[in-house]
């Protein structure tokens, strides 16, 4: 689903940047040194590599662009329509088509020039061909300048579109400009849409989220729609129309009763009638906003009749004021309830319901006698539920008190004390009473009471009140507990043992020791196992036993293939490096002689290492002296 991938489209570079990028990349990532005297196949390969590399880069980048941009046919029709409104579908498709063509052209150029370069017989010719190839590819990209610019702008705008999920519960606000849609959404959700007195403050769709009945709801704010036919609408209004057309949402048609928006009530009703076809199959609520200025009851007769007509048609009319927040919550609950009911209905009518219904089964317990047993709901729950519905605060919080009193507020915890005589709550506590310091007060019986308590605790423990239930654990758990106990004991023993060891000075870490010895002693292993209770008496044939060479010759083997323990007195688990990979002694000898031979030249020349190129005698006499008569002046 390409919904949220709008933010992950790769940046489309401008033509100039694209060319610079790719060429500099070719410069950096391919070898740069070539000489005339190299062999021709090397020269050819060098230049072919550059051409291919550049072609590959362009190809990759262009493919990336093509796949990242959403295909208008694959995304949700709401987004497809929105993109058509904002970016013009034809232009968009054309731009992407041009990029595709450019990609193919570049591929062809690359192929052709690589083919030609096979016949290049000199460095100059190959170089010119490479230059021509790269130049051609870059010209192709230069011609795409317009498309690339357009796509970059589209990408930037796309990534800033609000993420509207077309399938979830949505409330859609529509109406004339300046009627109060944005103020409504600001009130109901945490969105912060700009509210200004001029029309068309909102120029695009905005989303806000709110919670109701433990579900997430989207509220979509649209730019205002004016009353003219579809063809005359501009881009901003078309966005609103698109949202109306494609989102399955509850529609809140907001009207301005006080006519402060600049359009009369009749005009608003006209608009309503015109866009009514878009409301098909959607729960609709008429929101009469700005009722703090003018209520419906204050309106003249004809206007009131309009509202009565609405009521008659079955659309509920709710008066609200976003300023005083009157009726806002009512609108919200009504819209959400109706939308939920509508969605449930559609789901029930659909096919998927049956799948779910088949799997649901409500199990009722069998009645064992005729006694009626009603469900028990405690009083507190009922009162709390009632209070939730009414939405009143439970009790006056300290915070509320603090806000009320403002500066006068003093934190008074003493009112919560639970005393026998409640009138004594605010009495001052004396510091000295009957000659004693109150702070020094210790109950003289305190020790006795403590002892009594402890005895009680012991009795309780003996009685088994604190024991965990044995029936709750099954056999497995018991075994596991036993094992855990054993492990703990063993661990403690080992710790004590290691402490007893007489060590002086630093000790090698265990891993080093392990590597040097390379195996655990058989005796140690067997001892440990017997300690644990296993029978280790007859284990000569076990896999962990190291055997001498005679004992291993149980299977018939080729004479040439001897076991890996070659030329070693004691077998180890890891073969030493100088004989690893070698079959027999003959090979080992040969390898050793080869190694020595390789060192001969270095030793003879007195070189310190492979990279030592020091020349001891820069001007050898036998080469630089004498006339050119006899030999010995090679290439002077």
Can you give the binding site for other proteins, defined by CB under 8 A?
A: 112-113, 115-116, 118-119, 121, 124-125, 128-129, 132-133
CB of 127 to other proteins, least distance (A): 9
The DSSP code for 469 is P
CB of 115 to other proteins, least distance (A): 5
Strands annotated E in 196-299: 206-212, 215-221, 250-256, 284-289
Query: Given the complex with other proteins, which of 113 and 206 has the nearer CB atom?
Result: 113
CB of 58 to other proteins, least distance (A): 17
CB of 25 to other proteins, least distance (A): 23
CA-wise closest residue to 58 among 129, 144, 128: 144
Query: Given the complex with other proteins, which of 120 and 223 has the nearer CB atom?
Result: 120
CB of 135 to other proteins, least distance (A): 9
Query: Residue 164 and residue 247: Cα distance in Å, rounded?
Result: 9
Query: Given the complex with other proteins, which of 102 and 114 has the nearer CB atom?
Result: 114
CB of 131 to other proteins, least distance (A): 9
Query: Given the complex with other proteins, which of 51 and 172 has the nearer CB atom?
Result: 51
Token output for 385: 């539920």
CA-wise closest residue to 175 among 114, 226, 231: 226
The DSSP code for 341 is H
CA-wise closest residue to 117 among 19, 49, 29: 49
Query: Given the complex with other proteins, which of 92 and 113 has the nearer CB atom?
Result: 113
- The residues near 304 (Cβ < 8 Å, ≥ 6 apart) are 296, 297
- Rg of the chain, C-alpha, whole Å: 45
Other CB atoms within 10 A of residue 123 CB: 18
Query: Residue 357 and residue 347: Cα distance in Å, rounded?
Result: 11
Query: Given the complex with other proteins, which of 46 and 87 has the nearer CB atom?
Result: 46
CA-wise closest residue to 524 among 513, 516, 536, 515: 536
Query: Given the complex with other proteins, which of 118 and 590 has the nearer CB atom?
Result: 118
Token output for 251: 């529609």
Query: Residue 305 and residue 288: Cα distance in Å, rounded?
Result: 14
Query: Given the complex with other proteins, which of 15 and 133 has the nearer CB atom?
Result: 133
CB of 122 to other proteins, least distance (A): 10
Q: Which helix (H) or strand (E) holds 17?
A: helix 15-29
Rounded to a whole number, what is the distance in angstroms from the first to the last CA of the chain? 75
Alpha-carbon torsion (80, 84, 89, 95), positive or negative:
negative
Given the structure tokens 């009473």, which residue do they identify?
433
Query: Given the complex with other proteins, which of 129 and 164 has the nearer CB atom?
Result: 129
Instruction: Give residue 80's Cα distance to chain centre.
Output: 26
CB of 197 to other proteins, least distance (A): 60
Are 99 and 144 in contact by the 8 Å Cβ rule? The answer is: yes
Instruction: Give residue 297's Cα distance to chain centre.
Output: 54
Buried b (16+ CB within 10 A) or exposed e, 463-479: eeeeeeeeeeeeeeeee
CB of 119 to other proteins, least distance (A): 6
CB of 46 to other proteins, least distance (A): 17
- Residue 18, SS3? helix
Query: Given the complex with other proteins, which of 26 and 222 has the nearer CB atom?
Result: 26
CA-wise closest residue to 582 among 557, 561, 556, 607: 561
Q: Write down the H helix ranges in 465-553.
A: 475-500, 510-517, 522-532, 549-552
Query: Given the complex with other proteins, which of 119 and 409 has the nearer CB atom?
Result: 119
Based on the number of CB atoms within 10 Å of its own CB, is 110 exposed (0-12), middle (13-18) or buried (19 or more)? buried
Query: Given the complex with other proteins, which of 52 and 539 has the nearer CB atom?
Result: 52
CB of 54 to other proteins, least distance (A): 15
CB of 103 to other proteins, least distance (A): 20
Q: Which helix (H) or strand (E) holds 534?
A: none
Query: Given the complex with other proteins, which of 41 and 604 has the nearer CB atom?
Result: 41
Query: Residue 8 and residue 5: Cα distance in Å, rounded?
Result: 5
- Residue 208, SS3? strand
Query: Residue 252 and residue 10: Cα distance in Å, rounded?
Result: 38
Query: Given the complex with other proteins, which of 128 and 304 has the nearer CB atom?
Result: 128
Query: Residue 469 and residue 475: Cα distance in Å, rounded?
Result: 13
CB of 137 to other proteins, least distance (A): 12
CB of 31 to other proteins, least distance (A): 22
Query: Given the complex with other proteins, which of 108 and 414 has the nearer CB atom?
Result: 108
Are 274 and 304 in contact by the 8 Å Cβ rule? The answer is: no
CB of 41 to other proteins, least distance (A): 15
Query: Residue 622 and residue 633: Cα distance in Å, rounded?
Result: 8
């Amino acid at each position: 689903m390409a919904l949220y991938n709008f933010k992950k489209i790769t940046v489309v570079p401008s033509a100039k940047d694209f060319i610079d990028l790719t060429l500099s990349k070719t410069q950096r990532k391919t070898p740069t040194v070539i000489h005339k005297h190299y062999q021709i196949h090397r020269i050819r390969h060098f230049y072919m590599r550059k051409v291919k590399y550049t072609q590959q880069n362009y190809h990759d980048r262009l493919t990336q662009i093509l796949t990242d941009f959403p295909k208008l046919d694959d995304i949700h029709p709401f987004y497809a329509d929105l993109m058509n409104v904002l970016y013009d579908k034809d232009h968009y498709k054309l731009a992407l088509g041009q990029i595709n063509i450019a990609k193919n052209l570049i591929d062809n150029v690359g192929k052709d020039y690589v083919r030609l370069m096979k016949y290049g017989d000199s460095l100059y010719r190959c170089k010119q061909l490479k230059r021509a190839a790269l130049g051609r590819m870059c010209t192709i990209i230069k011609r795409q300048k317009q498309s690339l610019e357009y796509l970059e702008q589209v990408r930037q705008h796309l990534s800033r579109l609000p993420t509207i999920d077309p399938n979830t519960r949505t409330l859609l606000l529509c109406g004339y400009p300046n009627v109060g849609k944005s103020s409504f959404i600001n009130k109901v959700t945490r969105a912060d849409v700009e509210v200004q007195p001029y029309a068309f403050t909102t120029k695009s769709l905005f989303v806000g989220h709110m919670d109701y009945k433990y579900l997430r709801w989207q509220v979509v704010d649209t730019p205002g729609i004016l009353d003219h036919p579809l063809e005359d609408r501009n881009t901003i209004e078309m966005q609103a129309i698109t949202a109306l057309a494609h989102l399955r949402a509850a529609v809140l048609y907001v009207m301005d009763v006080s006519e402060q928006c600049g359009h009369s009530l009749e005009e608003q009703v006209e608009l309503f009638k015109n866009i009514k076809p878009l409301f098909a199959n959607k729960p609709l609520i008429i929101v009469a906003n700005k009722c703090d200025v003018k209520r419906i009851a204050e309106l003249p007769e004809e206007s009131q009749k309009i509202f009565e007509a609405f009521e008659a048609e079955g659309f509920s009319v709710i008066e609200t004021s976003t300023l005083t927040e009157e009726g806002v919550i009512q609108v919200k609950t009504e819209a959400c309830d109706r939308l939920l009911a509508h969605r449930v209905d559609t789901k029930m009518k659909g096919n998927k319901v049956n799948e779910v219904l088949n799997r649901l089964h409500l199990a009722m317990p069998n009645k064992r006698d005729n006694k009626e047993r009603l469900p028990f709901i405690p009083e507190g729950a009922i009162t709390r539920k009632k209070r939730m519905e009414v939405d009143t605060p439970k009790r006056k919080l300290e915070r509320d008190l603090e806000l009320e009193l403002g500066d006068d507020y003093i934190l008074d915890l003493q009112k919560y004390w639970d005393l026998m005589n409640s009138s004594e709550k605010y009495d001052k506590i004396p510091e000295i009473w009957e000659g004693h310091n109150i702070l020094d007060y210790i109950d003289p019986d305190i020790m006795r009471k403590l002892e009594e308590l402890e005895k009680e605790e012991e009795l309780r423990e003996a009685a088994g009140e604190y024991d965990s239930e044995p029936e709750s654990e099954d056999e497995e758990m018991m075994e596991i507990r036993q094992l855990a106990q054993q492990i703990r004991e063993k661990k403690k023993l080992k710790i004590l043992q290691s402490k007893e060891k007489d060590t002086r000075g630093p000790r090698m870490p265990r891993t080093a020791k392990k590597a040097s010895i390379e195996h655990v002693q058989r005796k140690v292993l067997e001892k440990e196992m017997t300690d644990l209770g296993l029978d280790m008496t007859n284990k000569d044939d076990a896999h962990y036993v190291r055997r001498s060479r005679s004992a291993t010759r149980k299977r018939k083997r080729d004479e040439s293939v001897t076991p890996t323990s070659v030329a070693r007195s004691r077998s180890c688990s890891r073969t030493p490096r100088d004989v690893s990979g070698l079959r027999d002694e003959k090979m080992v000898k040969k390898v050793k002689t080869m190694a020595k031979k390789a060192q001969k030249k270095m030793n003879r020349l007195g070189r310190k290492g492979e990279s030592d190129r020091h020349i001891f005698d820069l001007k050898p006499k036998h080469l630089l002296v004498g006339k050119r008569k006899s030999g010995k002046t090679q290439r002077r």
